[in-house]
Amino acid sequence: MVTIKDIAKKAGVSRGTVDRVLHDRGKVAPEKEKKIRRIAQELGYQPNIAGKGLAARKKHIRIGFVYISSDWAPFHGVIYESARQYARQELLPFGVEVHFFPFDLKDYEENFRTWDQKFIKAVREQRINGLVVVGMIGGHLQQVLEQNGIADIPFVLYNQNEDVKGKLAYVGCDYERAGRLACGLAALMTKNKAHVGIVSLDDGNMQSSLNRVVGFEAEIRERYPQIQIVEKYFTANVEEMSELFAEVQQMMERHPDMDVLYLANPGDYSLCQSIRRSGKTSDVRIITNDLVTECQREMVKNGTIDATICQEPEKQGVKPLEILFNYLALGILPETEWYKTELSVRIGQNV
């Protein structure tokens, strides 16, 4: 293990100088710099994380974390809880504070200027020096920051990707792949000749459901020509889940050969229970996405849902913080721009 001290001794300079060279801060005489870099290279210097970590508390790092707090989005609740726990247990010991900013989509639409102003104020006053933002509003927030002259704060997005200036990385799943995986499951369930109905609780323009459907269809084309999508039904606003159920029932009457139902965007999945209760339609295989509430787990366990595709919500909360910590505290740049979460298949036996 070679330390900064070893380099300093060998180069005949002080540790401070070595530090300056290795972190490009301050000016150092060019020959010395060359020499130090060469020696560091030769010795194969690797900075010691424990040491860096201890010293990092001098930097007073404060990270802001914007999350969706709407109670109809339990998936984001899991992200939030994971992030909170990680912040307390792993980051606090390094002197890093994480400030959480709840964000409710419905409130926001009514009153977004207020929220934005509060946010800007908080970022300023709390001297936030890094941000984790749910992708959905990442682009917008970055604009707002820029308009207020605080454009240099490094960003990590999660759950949905956006092309934002200053973005360090994105953490989230590949939705198209998720759709392909759903198709693969449908094939497995039906000897490759499923008749699939796709239902989604959104207007069909959300990145997540849109790309899932794209992937599903691509997989049909490329691999399972016998699979058919008998119908797609998108709806952003249902008053009652029973309305949706009625729709689905009609869909199934129109297509009596339908044997797989794919819920491309999560609702509360109570639809699945309704389907199982109605005798007729009870042998259709149901594929969903995400598994966060106890109720959903139960449905997978008891076969109400046949298979579900998960995308590591915990990682979506934790990894962005880790990336930002590595960057701000340890000076380590992320290895990739897109940290893909794993797509795992859950059935009754491995929920």
Partner DNA sequence: CTGAAAGCGCTAACAG
Partner DNA sequence: CTGTTAGCGCTTTCAG
Interface residues toward a copy of itself, by CB under 8 A: 1, 46, 48-51, 53-54, 92-95, 177, 180-181, 183-185, 188-189, 191, 219, 223, 283, 285, 306-307, 342-350
Beta-strand ranges (E) seen in the chain are 62-68, 97-103, 130-134, 155-158, 167-172, 195-200, 228-234, 260-265, 285-289, 307-310, 338-340, 344-346
Label residue 131 left, alpha or beta by phi (over 0 means left) and psi (-120 to 50 means alpha).
beta
Burial class (CB in 10 A: 0-12, 13-18, 19+), 83: buried
Could you list the residues that contact DNA (CB under 7 A)? 1, 3-5, 12-17, 19-20, 22-23, 25-29, 32-33, 47-48, 50-52, 54-59, 95, 330-331
- Nearest-approach distance from CB 188 to a copy of itself, in angstroms: 6
CA angle 281, 72, 247 (to 5 degrees): 30
Question: Could you give the CA distance from residue 87 to residue 84 in angstroms, rounded to a whole number?
Answer: 5
Residue 4 binds what, of DNA, a copy of itself, none (CB under 5 to 8 Å, by partner type)?
DNA
Q: Do the Cβ atoms of 170 and 90 come closer than 8 Å?
A: no
Residue 349 binds what, of a copy of itself, DNA, none (CB under 5 to 8 Å, by partner type)?
a copy of itself
- Nearest-approach distance from CB 350 to a copy of itself, in angstroms: 5
98 vs 145 by CB, closer to DNA: 98
Residue whose C-alpha is closest to residue 288's, from 191, 303, 278, 241: 303
Task: Enter the DSSP assignment of 148.
Answer: T
83 vs 343 by CB, closer to a copy of itself: 343
Residue 165 binds what, of DNA, a copy of itself, none (CB under 5 to 8 Å, by partner type)?
none
- Nearest-approach distance from CB 8 to a copy of itself, in angstroms: 19
131 vs 178 by CB, closer to a copy of itself: 178
- Nearest-approach distance from CB 35 to DNA, in angstroms: 10
Residue 16 binds what, of a copy of itself, DNA, none (CB under 5 to 8 Å, by partner type)?
DNA
8 vs 134 by CB, closer to DNA: 8
Question: Could you give the CA distance from residue 220 to residue 225 in angstroms, rounded to a whole number?
Answer: 6
Question: Could you give the CA distance from residue 129 to residue 137 in angstroms, rounded to a whole number?
Answer: 19
Task: Say which amino acid occupies 1.
Answer: M
- Nearest-approach distance from CB 53 to a copy of itself, in angstroms: 4
205 vs 349 by CB, closer to a copy of itself: 349
54 vs 333 by CB, closer to DNA: 54
- Nearest-approach distance from CB 15 to DNA, in angstroms: 4
| 3-class secondary structure, 339 | strand
Residue with structure tokens 């999560």? 266
12 vs 303 by CB, closer to DNA: 12
